[in-house]
């Protein structure tokens, strides 16, 4: 009965804290330790090997570049979609939400195989393009970066859309009307009023999408094939094929730190818009 | 500055018609209030003038130009919202500059000059760099006003801009609005449910009831000569008393439901069953025996400067505003007198 609030709070937080440490910090620590493990004590050789090999640098660059493109496309589709969702009736909004999150309800493998069927040489999309005379006989979208982007955008769009939707629905509709009475056309209102006020949602959605796409493995691997490797796939190969665990750990650390560095200014940006 | 002409405006939301063909002319520089209870369609009408709402039929002309089909940004208007609708991501100065920037009025230097002027007009020059959420309600309201007048629009539309302020600030802002309107001479359409606000600010009042114009006229005219039962009930909160008029020895006499009689001016032409509209402040109260209608005190409400009495009289009740030094208790017998010239007689079918 004499327990203070503070002690009580600490006690309550304990189970969560233990879980967090066991499930999150321990593996990361292990990964860090493993990444500098060498035959004669700690070494940075794995990092050196990665950073001096053009092949791996290319993989890293592709991962960052594709993630950025995927994030951008998700934002470009997600913002108008969220705006429309916020402005239709509650019933229509429900259906749109269901449609948007539908891809998340199927297994990633099944969904990706679906794309493989659509994008392969005899698939629907290349065939239509061929019939329209836009591409050559051997055209295929499989095993291209385009395929990775298409597949990933479909998977990650819900994260972006729902992040933005949460913010857009809270924007006072009167603000848009006020902007219209002050000389803004519809698109100008979107740009000068809705977009700036949606920034926290766009930032949050971008953080999610970028992080998820930079660390994703199944979709890029299946749609991009072995020629177009992203970092996560390269890590997977180091673990399962060359059995070089320390090198895999080093790549994982680079991915981890890289995302952290890229996201830091972003996080600060969102902190500022919220405050 | 420009005149506004509304031609037989009808508006329906789905199957419900909320405006039944309203026509209204507003002269250049005139300050017109749309007065009415909530749900009478006054805000819808204002939004139609702004272009935020479409019409079902009828047309809107601003400055002789038919703007019915134009979106709000193509009309030279400024609107002040009840919630102020300041843009939270912009500073006060940027908010006020917004209409200038969007309508591309003047150079950057001229725009800054105008923003400074507008903010000085509402005495907020020192807060130009603040964000709206750092201001009090009254200050936000002034920023909204500055933003509405900065571009010198042809028409200024005000949607209950004072209703979120406390009583003291509201009085200050009324004075300020009158002065600004005098100085800038903007054609102004003002929506309010507050009769006092409408009376004190307007050149002309348009009283709306259930989507139709009940009466329009100058404040004095509409207050002293309400044309209908609804108008007298809404303006000045008049008491409506049922009576029957017949010819007495010295002119028309009104007999109330309890048989008491009241002399009317000789000019009164109506006979038969009528409704008398008696204003609270026109009725005088006195104690004991004497001339006047007999009644008894039901309730007294202390209002500070005055007392409001509810008196049982003539088979119904009337409310009376009395000086604060006049004190009666519940159940006291009182006399109620009124100058016959102040009695408004309404035929029965005019009753709301």
Q: For the segment A130-173, what is each residue's pLDDT rounded down to a tens digit?
A: 888 888 887 888 888 999 999 999 989 999 999 999 999 999 99
| CA-based nearest distance B48→chain A, Å | 12
State the smallest CA–CA distance between residue A183 and chain B in angstroms.
Answer: 4
Q: Does A188 touch chain B (CB under 8 A)?
A: yes
Please report, for residues A68, A110, A112, A226, the alpha-carbon distance to residue A59 in angstroms, rounded to integers and kept in the order given: 14, 26, 21, 12
The pLDDT of residue A275 is above 50:
no
Q: Helices then strands (H, E): number in chain A?
A: 14, 0
CATH of the domain at A183: 1.10.3720.10
Least confident of A58-67, B2-11, B14-23, B288-297: B288-297
Residue B352: pLDDT over 50: no
**Rounded average pLDDT over A5-27:** 89
Chain A residue whose CA is closest to B49? A181
B71 close contact with A: CB closer than 8 A: yes
Are B72 and A180 within 8 A, CB to CB?
Answer: yes
Is residue A225 pLDDT above 80, yes or no? yes
Cross-chain Cβ contact B79/A178 below 8 Å = yes
Asked whether residue B273 carries a pLDDT value surpassing 90, the answer given is: no
Q: How many domains does chain A have?
A: 1
pLDDT band at A270 (very low <50, low <70, confident <90, very high): low
pLDDT for res B236:
66
What angle in degrees, to the nearest 10, is found between the helix axes of A90-105 and A145-168? 140
Taking residues B32-46, report their average pLDDT: 92
Choosing among B50, B72, B104, which should be mutated to test the A contact, i.e. which has the most A CBs within 10 A?
Answer: B72
Look at residue A198 and tell me if it is in a domain. Answer: yes
Interface residue A27 vs chain B (CB under 8 A)? no
Mutate to test the interface with A, among B53, B80, B82, B98 (most CBs of A within 10 A): B98
Q: Does domain B237-350 have CATH number 2.40.50.140?
A: yes
Q: Which residues contact B121 (CB under 8 A, 6 or more apart)?
A: B146, B149, B180
Mean per-residue pLDDT for A9-25? 90
Q: Is residue A123 part of a domain?
A: no
Angle between the N-to-C axes of helices B137-149 and B167-184, in degrees from 0 to 180, rounded to the nearest 10: 10
pLDDT, averaged across chain B: 88
Buried b (16+ CB within 10 A) or exposed e, B47-70: bbbbbbbebeebebbbbeeebbee
A194 within a domain of the structure (yes/no): yes
Inter-residue contact B44 to B11 (CB < 8 Å) = yes
pLDDT of B349 above 90: no
Q: Is residue A47 part of a domain?
A: no
**Contact check, Cβ <8 Å, A178/B77:** no
Q: Do A185 and B81 touch (CB under 8 A)?
A: no
- Contact with chain B for residue A91, Cβ under 8 A: no
What's the pLDDT band for B47 if we cut at 50, 70, 90? very high
- Partner residue facing A183 (CB), from B85, B88, B102: B102
pLDDT digits (tens, 9 = 90+) for B206-235: 999 999 999 999 988 888 888 887 887 787
Query: With contacts defined as CB-CB under 8 Å, which chain B residues touch A178?
Result: 79, 81, 85, 87
Helices (DSSP H) in chain B: which residue ranges? 42-50, 92-102, 108-121, 137-149, 167-184, 195-201, 219-224, 229-234
Among B71, B81, B89, whose Cβ lies nearest the Cβ of A197? B89
- pLDDT higher than 60, residue B350: no
DSSP notation for B75-121: S-EEEE-TT----TTS-HHHHHHHHHHHTT-S-HHHHHHHHHHHHHH
Q: Which domain holds residue A73?
A: 57-86+143-274
Q: Is residue A13 part of a domain?
A: no
Q: Which residue of A lies nearest to B86 if distances are taken between CA atoms? A: A175
CA–CA gap between residue B282 and residue B126 (Å, rounded) = 47
Domains of chain B, residue spans: 4-226, 237-350
CA distance A80 to B39: 34
Quote ipTM for the complex: 0.79
Other C-beta atoms closer than 10 Å to the C-beta of B222 total 28
Per the domain annotation, does A154 fall within a domain? yes
CATH architecture, domain B4-226: 3-Layer(aba) Sandwich (3.40)
Question: Using a CB-CB distance cutoff of 8 angstroms, which residues of chain A are in contact with residue B87?
Answer: 175, 178-179, 193
Q: Is the pLDDT of residue A262 over 90?
A: no
């Amino acid at each position: 009965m004499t327990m203070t609030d503070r002690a009580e709070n600490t006690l309550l937080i304990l189970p969560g804290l233990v879980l967090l440490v066991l499930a999150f910090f321990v593996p990361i620590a292990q990964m860090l330790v493993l990444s500098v493990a060498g035959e004669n004590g700690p070494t940075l050789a794995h990092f050196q090997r990665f950073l001096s090999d053009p092949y791996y640098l290319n993989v890293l660059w592709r991962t960052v570049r594709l993630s950025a493109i995927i994030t951008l496309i998700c934002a470009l589709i997600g913002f108008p979609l969220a705006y429309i969702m916020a402005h239709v009736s509650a019933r229509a909004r429900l259906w749109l939400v269901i449609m948007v999150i539908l891809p998340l309800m199927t297994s990633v493998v099944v969904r990706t195989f679906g794309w493989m069927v659509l994008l392969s040489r005899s698939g629907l999309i290349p065939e239509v393009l061929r019939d329209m005379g836009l591409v050559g006989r051997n055209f295929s979208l499989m095993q291209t970066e385009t395929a990775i982007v298409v597949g990933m955008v479909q998977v990650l769009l819900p994260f972006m859309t729902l992040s933005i939707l949460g913010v857009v629905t809270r924007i006072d509709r009167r603000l848009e009307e006020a902007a219209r009475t002050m000389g803004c056309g519809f698109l100008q209102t979107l740009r000068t009023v809705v977009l700036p006020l949606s920034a926290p949602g766009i930032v949050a959605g971008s953080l999610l999408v970028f992080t998820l796409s930079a660390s994703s493995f199944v979709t890029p691997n299946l749609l991009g094939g072995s020629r177009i490797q992203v970092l996560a796939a390269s890590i997977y190969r180091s673990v399962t094929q060359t059995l070089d665990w320390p090198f895999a750990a080093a790549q994982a650390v680079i991915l981890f730190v890289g995302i952290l560095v890229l996201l830091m200014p972003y996080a600060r940006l969102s902190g500022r818009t919220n405050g | 500055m420009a005149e506004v002409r509304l031609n037989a405006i009808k508006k329906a939301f789905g199957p419900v018609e909320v405006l039944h063909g309203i026509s209204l002319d507003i002269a250049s520089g005139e300050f017109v209030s749309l007065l009415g209870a909530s749900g009478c369609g006054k805000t819808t009408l204002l939004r139609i003038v702004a272009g935020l709402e479409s019409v079902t039929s009828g047309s809107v002309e601003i400055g002789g130009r038919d703007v019915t089909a134009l979106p709000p940004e193509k009309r030279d208007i400024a609107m002040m919202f009840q919630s102020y609708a300041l843009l939270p991501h912009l500073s006060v100065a940027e908010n006020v500059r917004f209409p200038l920037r969007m309508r591309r009025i003047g150079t950057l230097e001229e725009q800054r000059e105008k923003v400074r002027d507008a903010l000085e007009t509402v005495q907020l020059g020192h807060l130009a760099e603040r964000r709206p959420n750092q201001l009090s309600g009254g200050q936000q309201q002034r920023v909204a006003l500055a933003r509405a007048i900065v571009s010198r629009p042809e028409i200024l539309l005000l949607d209950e801009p004072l209703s979120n302020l406390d009583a003291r600030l509201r009085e200050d802002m009324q004075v300020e609005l009158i002065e600004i309107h005098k100085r800038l001479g903007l054609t102004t359409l003002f929506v309010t449910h507050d009769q006092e606000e409408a009376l004190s600010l307007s050149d002309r009042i348009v009283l709306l009831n259930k989507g139709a114009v009940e009466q329009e006229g100058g404040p004095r005219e509409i207050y002293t000569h309400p044309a209908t039962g609804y108008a007298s009930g809404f303006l000045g909160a008049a008491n409506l008393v049922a009576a029957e008029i017949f010819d007495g020895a010295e002119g028309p006499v009104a007999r109330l439901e309890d048989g008491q009689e009241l002399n009317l001016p000789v000019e009164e032409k109506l006979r038969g069953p009528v409704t008398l509209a008696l204003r609270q402040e026109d009725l005088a109260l006195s104690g004991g025996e004497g001339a006047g209608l007999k009644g008894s005190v039901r309730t007294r409400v202390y209002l500070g400067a005055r007392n409001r009495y509810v008196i049982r009289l003539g088979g119904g009740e009337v409310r009376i505003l009395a000086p604060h030094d006049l004190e009666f208790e519940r159940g006291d017998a009182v006399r109620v007198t009124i100058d016959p010239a102040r009695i408004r007689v309404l035929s029965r079918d005019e009753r709301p």
